[in-house]
Amino acid sequence: MTHPEQTALVEAAGALVRWDVLGEPGPVTEVHEQQRAAAWLWELTEDPAVLAAVHRLARLNWAQSWWPASTVAGVPPLHPALLAAEHAVATAAVSHLLDDEQATERALSALLPLPLAALSGHAEALVLAEELAELAEDFGVTPPTPTAALTREGFALAAGADTRPDGVVMQQGSALVDWSMVPAGAVDAAAEATWFILRRNGKTLLEVTARPAPGGVPPRLAAQFGPIDLPLEPTPAGALTGSIPLPANALLLPADQRVLTVYAPGFAEPAPPDPAAADRRAALIAHARTRLDDPAATLTERTARLLWSGA
């Protein structure tokens, strides 16, 4: 897909069914094995309930991969237990048309304790728990015991982290983090990564800082700045930071090489920035905000703000 970050996708038997979360409401179906797809494809046009169930799974798949949690933009993270529970139930509902025959078992294996105490006013949460218990019993799985909501440890740190380094700053800049260059939930969806060339203790250094996403465990990433690569490690201040000594001629790098790319080694290779990425990112962040109060959104999306503010 041209823009996977705005694509809600279901991998069905012999076909892909996808929606553009920023575009038209109807799906696009790409058939690559006609015989396999023919066994279920008719259901999408003849049974609105099946189409709605596939759409729901597609939306949950998008949320798992691309939800733009951001301290900067005020988009709370999704509760992983609710997301896993809704994903398992939605997967089971359309398991007969999925490409992976073990999809429901795999979804059940990702279950986490539901925060039912924090959702005592939401009847939907109890319904979800009951559906999940029935599904788990059918597959011989014991669902985890319900627990409290997420902890906000690290959220305030990330929100207030000072990204300006110690030393005499000689050059500085910032760049968006391409979402396709890092795993889902690795970085704050709206924050820019920053770079500084500075003098400290008689040395010229390049220092790069990225802001991790709220609610997750900061991963180890890397940054490329012109011909220079350096690792980014989590710090107690709640940021991902790395620094590396620079040769004396580093300040003479031409402007087209003073470009910062943050990526996850082994996950993606650095690539030139997409000029249209900023607009798509802003649109997806705005879309996520609407989902927080949309009655048609998933329970996970509609309760994200409640669970995060009360954690």
pLDDT given for residue 310 in this prediction: 66
**Rounded CA Rg of the chain:** 22
Q: Are 165 and 150 in contact (CB under 8 A)?
A: no
Q: What is the DSSP letter of 43?
A: H
Please compute the mean of the pLDDT values over residues 3-22 and round it to a whole number. Answer: 95
Per-residue pLDDT tens digits for 247-271: 877 777 787 888 899 999 999 998 8
Check pLDDT > 50 for residue 154: no
pLDDT given for residue 156 in this prediction: 38
pLDDT given for residue 294 in this prediction: 95
Check pLDDT > 90 for residue 180: no
Please compute the mean of the pLDDT values over residues 176-199 and round it to a whole number. Answer: 91
Tell me which H or E stretch contains 254. none
Reduce the DSSP state of residue 60 to 3 states and report it: helix
* CA–CA gap between residue 176 and residue 163 (Å, rounded): 15
For the chain, the domains span 4-138, 155-263
pLDDT given for residue 147 in this prediction: 73
Who's near 164: CB < 8 A, 6+ residues apart?
A: 196
> What pLDDT band is residue 163 in, cutting at 50, 70 and 90?
low
- Lowest average pLDDT, out of 88-102, 135-149, 153-167, 201-215, goes to 153-167
Tell me which H or E stretch contains 184. none
Can you give the pTM of this predicted structure? 0.88
Who's near 175: CB < 8 A, 6+ residues apart?
A: 192, 193, 195, 259, 260, 261, 262, 273
* CA–CA gap between residue 108 and residue 135 (Å, rounded): 9
DSSP 256-306: GG--EEEE-TTT----PPPTTHHHHHHHHHHHHHHHTT-TTS-HHHHTHHH
- What's at 31, amino acid-wise? V
The mean of the pLDDT values for the chain is 89
Selected residue with higher pLDDT from 42 and 202: 42
Q: Are 108 and 86 in contact (CB under 8 A)?
A: no
> What pLDDT band is residue 164 in, cutting at 50, 70 and 90?
low
What CA dihedral angle connects 145, 146, 148 and 151, to 10 degrees?
60
Please compute the mean of the pLDDT values over residues 235-242 and round it to a whole number. Answer: 87
Sign, CA torsion 177/178/179/182: negative
